[in-house]
Chain A
Amino acid sequence: MSEEKRSSPIKDFFDDFMLLLFLGVTIYAASYLIWGLMELAWLPPIPDEIKQSLLGR
Chain B
Amino acid sequence: MSGAAVEAGRTLAMGQDEAVGGGRHSVEAPFGRALAKLGQSRPDIVGLTADLGKYTDILPFRDAFPDRFFNVGMAEQNLVAVAAGLARTGKMPFATTYGVFATRRAYDFVAIALAHSNLNVKIVAGLPGLTTGYGGTHQAIEDLALMRMIPGLTIIDPCDATEIEAATEAIAEHRGPVYMRLLRGSVPVVFEPGYRFEIGKARRLREGSDVGIISTGFMTERALDAADALRKQGMSAGVLHVPTIKPFDAEAVAEFAAGVGRIVTAENHVVVGGLASLVVETLFDAGIAKTVKRIGLPDRYIECGAVPTLQAKYGLTTEAVIATIAALG
A and B associate in one complex? no
Which residues of B are interface residues toward A (Cβ below 8 A)? none
